[in-house]
Amino acid sequence: MRKAFSETLLQLAEENPRVALLTGDLGFQVFDDFRTRFGPRYLNVGVAEAALVSVAAGMAMERWRPFAYSIASFITGRAFEQIRLLVDYPNLPVIIAGGGGGTTYASSGITHIAAEDIALMSVLPNMTVVNPGDPNEIRELMPQLLKLPGPSYLRVGRYGEPTYQAVDPVILGKARFVIDGEGVAIISTGDIVLVVLQALNMLKENQIFPIVYQMHTVKPLDTTVLSLLTKRVHTIVVVEESFPSGGLASAISAWFVQRRGSPRVLRLGPPDALALGNLPRDELRHHFGYDAEGIVFACRSALNSSK
């Protein structure tokens, strides 16, 4: 996804002379083309995320359209106060881009795991929060974020993610319909959708055919899809790579609270605990039960309990 991010950024900067990139001493080689072509619009502030966001806010006040890019755990955690007071409070059009969200960099240890980034950004009143599932969603969402009058958070993956096919186009604020089914629905956010698609083949062998949606936009929530699913399924399995509090499953559950006859919501993802050590991402997913096997188990259990 980082390649898609850098390529799309080049295109946007070509089209709009007010687009700028600020980074926290990373992205070398990834942003070399941008620095070569748009040198004055490239700012490396060093390992100083609070300053990074502060400069981006100042530029936005002068009608620049800055992208503030750093590792997700650093830019949302270290610079939260600056994002809250300098970007969100005045409702400035700064795009905060967090590289390696979730457990992408799990092998680097707890400092680089950003399972709380979605929650931190979603709690801010003016913030739009997107969690793309593949490079195509990155390419389609970035121009739409650039048109917003206020701030947004974009979680960016790393290199090598494949693309996937969905019925719906990529529209900010709208879930993408992936495949039809019955009984149970799976809603994913972020590149965990690729694991969901792996699970579909295993579910098919068990004669289980879930409805699948991908919610690249966590905030604002697509409640139209939730209303539709209320009439069609008894269980929604939400698969995410965020902590339970403040993630997609939390938002969906909160929306269903006041609605009678709502489906049961099952969440698969990291638990309410810090993952100590430096296990690779795939091992963490397996350990906490939100890999393909975990998704199959959850869907099978949901269908069995409804009989």
For residue range 56-88, list pLDDT tens digits in order.
Answer: 999 999 999 999 999 999 999 999 999 999 999
For residue 306, pLDDT over 80 is answered with: no
Lowest mean pLDDT among 200-209, 243-252, 253-262: 253-262
Which pLDDT value is given to residue 304?
Answer: 86
For residue range 35-53, list pLDDT tens digits in order.
Answer: 999 999 999 999 999 999 9
Domain ranges of the chain: 2-156, 176-305
Residue range 114-126: average pLDDT? 95
pLDDT band at 307 (very low <50, low <70, confident <90, very high): low
Q: Which CATH superfamily is domain 2-156 in?
A: Thiamin diphosphate (ThDP)-binding fold, Pyr/PP domains (3.40.50.970)
Which pLDDT value is given to residue 92?
Answer: 98
For residue range 88-109, list pLDDT tens digits in order.
Answer: 999 999 999 999 888 888 888 8
How many angstroms separate the CA atoms of 9 and 153, rounded?
15
What would the two tokens of residue 241 be? 């790579």
- Chain mean pLDDT for the chain: 93
Which pLDDT value is given to residue 111?
Answer: 83
Percent of the chain, pLDDT > 70? 99
pTM for the full predicted model: 0.94
Sign of the alpha-carbon torsion through 294, 300, 301, 302: positive
The CATH code belonging to domain 176-305 is 3.40.50.920
For residue 149, pLDDT over 70 is answered with: yes
For residue range 258-268, list pLDDT tens digits in order.
Answer: 787 789 999 99
Which pLDDT value is given to residue 278?
Answer: 83
How many angstroms separate the CA atoms of 68 and 21, rounded?
6
- Length of the chain, in residues: 307
Largest CA distance in the chain: 64
Which pLDDT value is given to residue 215?
Answer: 98
Which pLDDT value is given to residue 54?
Answer: 98
Say yes or no: do domains 2-156 and 176-305 share a fold: yes
What would the two tokens of residue 24 be? 């926290």
Percent of the chain, pLDDT > 90? 80
Using H for helix, E for strand and C for coil, what is the string for 114-149? ECCHHHHHHCCCCCEEECCCCHHHHHHHHHHHHCCC
Which pLDDT value is given to residue 274?
Answer: 84
